[in-house]
Structure 1
Amino acid sequence: MQPSRFLVPFCGAVLALLVAVPLVFIVLQAIFPDLAKGSLANPLAHVQATLGDPALLKLTGNTIALGLAVVCVSALIGVPLGVLRGLFDVPLARFWDLVLLVPFMVPPYIAAMGWILLLQPGGFLQQLTGVNMAGLLFSFTGVVLVMALNLFSAVYFAISRAVQGNGSRLAEVANIFGANHWQAFWRVVLPLALPALAASLLLVFAASIEEYGTPAVLASNAGFYVLVTGIEQRFSDWPIDLPGAAMLSVILMVLALSAWYAQRWITAGRDYATNTGKPNASTLRALGVWRWPVCVLFAAVTLLATLAPLFAVAATAFTGTLSGGLTFENLSLRHFSGLFEQGSQALSALGFSFSLAAGAALLTGIFGAVLAYTVLRTPGKAVAWLDGATMLPNAMPGIVVAVGMILAWNQPWLPVTPYNTWVILLMAYMCLLLPYPLRYAHAALRQIGSNLEASAFVHGVGFGRTLWHIVLPLVAPAVGAAMLLVFAIASRELVASLLLAPTGTQTVSLFIWRQFDQGSIGQGMAMSLITIGVTCLLLVLAHGLTVWAKKRLSERA
């Protein structure tokens, strides 16, 4: 077909630039220790020393232990809440959905700082109750709890939607045929929710092993180091250890890929489907005497996951000094006014971050839609390879992408390079966030099918006009929602910004991080509060666009 002549090479070239080049240079640096000097001499000369380092085994073990522990705690919180939300008529259900989404949208390093300000000696909890919990917070258990409270909502929403889709109605059918409630749950509800559960736990594991902010803020104080902090140290501490950083990056990426393949193995041949056609609306069961205990459970989780860290962030932002404590006389807007003073670094950081995030959203939205269209509409073996390559960004943690970008574009023999410019940050954001518009566009295109395009081609309409007048209007709402998500996440991204930001510039996340590092906690939290507000607003808009897109596609179908 006509589009195959240029779309496949175009998409392949862009994917190679954004994904393959960083990945290849990480592997090359891991093999050739002198690659940064332009030499391929002494291949694998450093491997024995690197792999034999006891610190490497400890970093890898700590990373796996942290990921698995966060997965377990997230499942313990998210699965029961999700099952209750999906099967029963929970009071204030929409409200709980809204407030339990907030933790997932709060940048983890901001949540970690909020917990420190809340639980440390002399913190807000001690001011209010006389008790501090620093011993719990600055420990492996504390790190796991903070990260799980930040990530469990992914499990909650996956399980609640999966159970509500068909599980509730089919559980009632099982009850009619003699199964008790527990049998219906284990044999009907849980198997139907298994793919969603596996996918959400994979997301939690991948997010926890690649997260930099929380381990750097909390775990390092407890003497607990992971691969991500190890990679950053090899770039920041002299002498810089590029081969070591590359080796750790390869190990981290292997862990992410292993988690992805484990999820595929768990769900392969274990998928359960119904043959009843479109899911019917089911009546949620009444909770009866458990109505108020369930409300208390949701309220307790909301207090811990959402209100507690946000209270610490807001209290710090609105108090004049931390030493002044939680008193009416200490209330102040000076941290906010300081952000918007003329010539303020905060304004520059906001402008730079929002410009980069807007560029990343626009470019990934366009390319994600084109890539999804190419994969779905163009036949051939090349497209199969292209489809496989689209999965790589999912298995590349942010710090791995940043390391790959540094290794690829900081070579001395390059005549022109985006390194140390805003362009390399834009490329990193595009690589990391491409899966969002790709998935959204893929789902939208599968819903509309190819009949409309075939009809246009039959009637002599060119490929360009078909895309512009038929395909684009149908996928635009879904891609627009994905672009809002990309903007929200890119505007607060930390680890790639930390390693790749050009000299003399800083993003919002870097501004906040450096304020924390310099002791200007109030201004950092004031900027954090603005960031959280913008992110939540954009997510509400993205949700609205998604709902509208589904309604519009169902009307066109």
Structure 2
Amino acid sequence: MPRLPQANSQPRWLFPSVLVVVFLLSALPLGRLLLAGLKASLEAGGLPPVLAERGTWNAVRNTLSTALLGMVVSMLIGATFAFATSLTDIGRKRLLSFLFMLPMMIPPQITALAWVEMSGPASPLLKTLRLAPPLGSPQPLYSIGGIALLFGVQHAPLVFLALRAGLASVPRDLVEASRLSGATPFRTFLDIVLPLAMPGVIAGAAIAFVSGVGNFGIPAILGIPASIFTLPTLVYSRLASFGAQTFADLAVLSMLIGLISVAGIVVQQRAMRGRDYRMSGLSGGQAPFPLGRIRFVVEGLLWLVLLAILVAPLLALVASSLVPAYGVALTPDTVSFGAYADILFRQAVTRSALANSLVLAAVSAGLLLVFASAAAYLMTRQGAWATVVIATLIEIPYALPGIVLAVCFILLLAAPLPILGISLYGTLGIILIAYLSSFFALSLKPMESAFRQLDPALEEAARLSGAGFWRRLREVLLPAVAPAAGAAFVLVFLTACNELTVSALLWSAGTQTLGVAIFNLDDSGSSDLAAALSVLVVLMVVFLMAMLEALSRYMPRGALPWRS
């Protein structure tokens, strides 16, 4: 009689292996940051010196001001698009949603650079349209208000995503009952839709605030020239002016950023109390609020907003990349592709940055696909406690500001590795490890969705037929989750290619990434080269997003962030 396979379908080494990987990428670097912060406090005998400096508290004030104002702008823009695309009968919703998500996928430093090129007296686009203000006029974006405005534009898609998921499940029969009882559409919206949408509104506001606290690219482009420092740019400046107290200061400032971010989440959780609504009834289907004759007006306003926050800045970026010098109007006589030729063929630094970003993005996406597949498989097969532990450890680095995570790995890997004696600091290795930690959750989401939609009976049938783990993986599991795996790979690749916040603190000579190269080119005054490289990055982003959109029908629900 043949011997039956073991009841446990998972190899014994899988769970401890996943826990070790998650511990090394999450718990260990965060623990090192906490240890450094406590050590700095103990050595100071009280308040660390950096917390007694006026510049630190100016940066705290600027961080809170820009994050809060940016949150308000994000709520206004994101909520408008979420309500319009979820609850009304406007046309081309999918295209609107896709285009509205682009600012979130475009690196923040490129967003800031595009808006700078669109405004001010030297804007090539405004000069071409004869709308440029007089020479000598100040650049309006180099201010607290300018930083907050771009925070709002960059993070509005996050509010959109948080709100739309809840609005899609608003019971249609409740809305119809309210309308049949004589309530006006506005009254129905206030009494039925808005209360049900409040959890999404609060969640979106918290996400926008935390994202603003940790954003580095926008305040670096707009704030540093005007000597307006937020906490992330203050951390960057402290690392640039390396001194005896640098590591201690970095640890304390990073913990301060983390505390502000955690405070935002705590406020969100307190605001959510008493708002755990249970919805019953039919949801989805036909939009509950037909707009009638004003439909085309609403559609026109939405497209105008997209024109202002997306199309116009990108056109300004393109115009700046095609003129021989910043401030020259774009005409048939001044059009030049010299900046693109320099970027692609003459500038060794930009070619190196492109190669570094592509290698880092591909390797991190590939490794995370393996890690995320193993973690997602365990989370759908193990008990609840294992799922909570793994998910929490993976989500923490993704939720933390990138600047905090970079400091964690500086503190952890600045010294040579024990036993091996190898130093990763100043190499592509430290950036790769930081990417693995930061983007683990991004890779995990589509894989977890795919494994949860996979019927466990398929694997169980293969196991009872005598198939071992590797054969089940090859013939049952991988073919079923292949579309989600492709989505996970491209999402991580896309995000890692454009990353700046983490690599801004970890790069050194020869390890520049695309994000760092754009920032350095703009900082050195080579605005045409920075614009040209930014245009190429945007084209890559649009191409990869369009490819994912074309393949979305083969992917599980929730695999792509811009799809409900």
**TM-score of the superposed pair, with normalisation by structure 1:** 0.90
- For residue 510 of structure 2, give the secondary structure of its aligned residue in structure 1: coil
Residue 517 of structure 1 corresponds to which residue in structure 2? Answer: 523
CA-based RMSD: 2.6
Q: 1:213 to 1:448 in 2, by over 3 A?
A: same
- Give aligned pairs, total: 545
**1:438-488 deviations in Å (ceiling 9; x for gaps):** 111222222224332333333333222223322222222123212211111
Residue 312 of structure 1 corresponds to which residue in structure 2? Answer: 316
- For residue 324 of structure 2, give the secondary structure of its aligned residue in structure 1: coil
Matches within 5 A, 1:437-456: 437-456=443-462
The Cα of 1:228 is off from its aligned counterpart by: 0.4
Q: Does 1:432 align with 2:438?
A: yes
Specify the code of the residue in structure 1 equivalent to 2:254.
S
Contact 1:257–1:395 under 8 Å retained in 2: no
Q: 1:371 to 1:90 in 2, by over 3 A?
A: same
- For residue 166 of structure 1, give the secondary structure of its aligned residue in structure 2: coil
The Cα of 1:360 is off from its aligned counterpart by: 0.9
**1:542 maps to which of 548, 560, 564:** 548
**Alpha-carbon distance between aligned partners in 2 of 1:4 and 1:269, rounded to the nearest angstrom:** 43
- Range with bigger deviation, 185-194 or 19-28: 185-194
Q: Does 1:392 align with 2:392?
A: no
**Alpha-carbon distance between aligned partners in 1 of 2:503 and 2:402, rounded to the nearest angstrom:** 10
The Cα of 1:131 is off from its aligned counterpart by: 2.8
Residue 99 of structure 1 corresponds to which residue in structure 2? Answer: 99
Residue 258 of structure 2 corresponds to which residue in structure 1? Answer: 253
Q: Does 1:526 align with 2:532?
A: yes
**TM-score of the superposed pair, with normalisation by structure 2:** 0.89
**1:79-122 deviations in Å (ceiling 9; x for gaps):** 12321221212144333223222222221111212222221223
**Alpha-carbon distance between aligned partners in 1 of 2:191 and 2:144, rounded to the nearest angstrom:** 36
Specify the code of the residue in structure 1 equivalent to 2:355.
G
**Alpha-carbon distance between aligned partners in 1 of 2:172 and 2:82, rounded to the nearest angstrom:** 12
Q: 1:322 to 1:466 in 2, by over 3 A?
A: same
Matches within 5 A, 1:83-232: 83-124=83-124, 126-127=126-127, 128-131=130-133, 134=138, 136-166=140-170, 170-232=174-236
Q: Does 1:11 align with 2:11?
A: no
- For residue 185 of structure 1, give the secondary structure of its aligned residue in structure 2: helix
Residue 60 of structure 1 corresponds to which residue in structure 2? Answer: 60
**2:39 maps to which of 32, 37, 43:** 32
- For residue 207 of structure 2, give the secondary structure of its aligned residue in structure 1: helix
Contact 2:206–2:268 under 8 Å retained in 1: yes
**Alpha-carbon distance between aligned partners in 1 of 2:237 and 2:392, rounded to the nearest angstrom:** 33
**Alpha-carbon distance between aligned partners in 2 of 1:531 and 1:417, rounded to the nearest angstrom:** 31
**2:355 maps to which of 332, 351, 354:** 351
Contact 2:210–2:261 under 8 Å retained in 1: yes
Specify the code of the residue in structure 2 equivalent to 1:85.
T
The Cα of 1:365 is off from its aligned counterpart by: 1.6
**Alpha-carbon distance between aligned partners in 2 of 1:184 and 1:116, rounded to the nearest angstrom:** 42
Residue 4 of structure 2 corresponds to which residue in structure 1? Answer: none
Contact 1:260–1:395 under 8 Å retained in 2: no
| Structure 1: runs of 5+ lacking an equivalent | 35-41
Contact 1:441–1:475 under 8 Å retained in 2: yes
**Alpha-carbon distance between aligned partners in 2 of 1:272 and 1:43, rounded to the nearest angstrom:** 49
Residue 39 of structure 1 corresponds to which residue in structure 2? Answer: none
Q: 1:364 to 1:60 in 2, by over 3 A?
A: same
Q: Does 1:372 align with 2:376?
A: yes
**Alpha-carbon distance between aligned partners in 2 of 1:6 and 1:466, rounded to the nearest angstrom:** 16
Specify the code of the residue in structure 2 equivalent to 1:431.
S
Q: 1:220 to 1:505 in 2, by over 3 A?
A: closer
Specify the code of the residue in structure 1 equivalent to 2:14.
L
The Cα of 1:388 is off from its aligned counterpart by: 2.5
Contact 2:172–2:284 under 8 Å retained in 1: no
**1:6-63 deviations in Å (ceiling 9; x for gaps):** 22211111112112222121112112249xxxxxxx6454634333333333322322
**Alpha-carbon distance between aligned partners in 1 of 2:307 and 2:386, rounded to the nearest angstrom:** 51
Q: 1:118 to 1:362 in 2, by over 3 A?
A: same
The Cα of 1:245 is off from its aligned counterpart by: 1.0
Q: Does 1:478 align with 2:484?
A: yes
**1:237 maps to which of 237, 241, 251:** 241
**Alpha-carbon distance between aligned partners in 2 of 1:48 and 1:285, rounded to the nearest angstrom:** 56
Contact 1:119–1:134 under 8 Å retained in 2: no
- Range with bigger deviation, 121-130 or 370-379: 121-130
Q: 1:125 to 1:215 in 2, by over 3 A?
A: same
Q: 1:550 to 1:509 in 2, by over 3 A?
A: same
Q: 1:88 to 1:412 in 2, by over 3 A?
A: closer
Q: 1:145 to 1:179 in 2, by over 3 A?
A: same
The Cα of 1:352 is off from its aligned counterpart by: 1.8
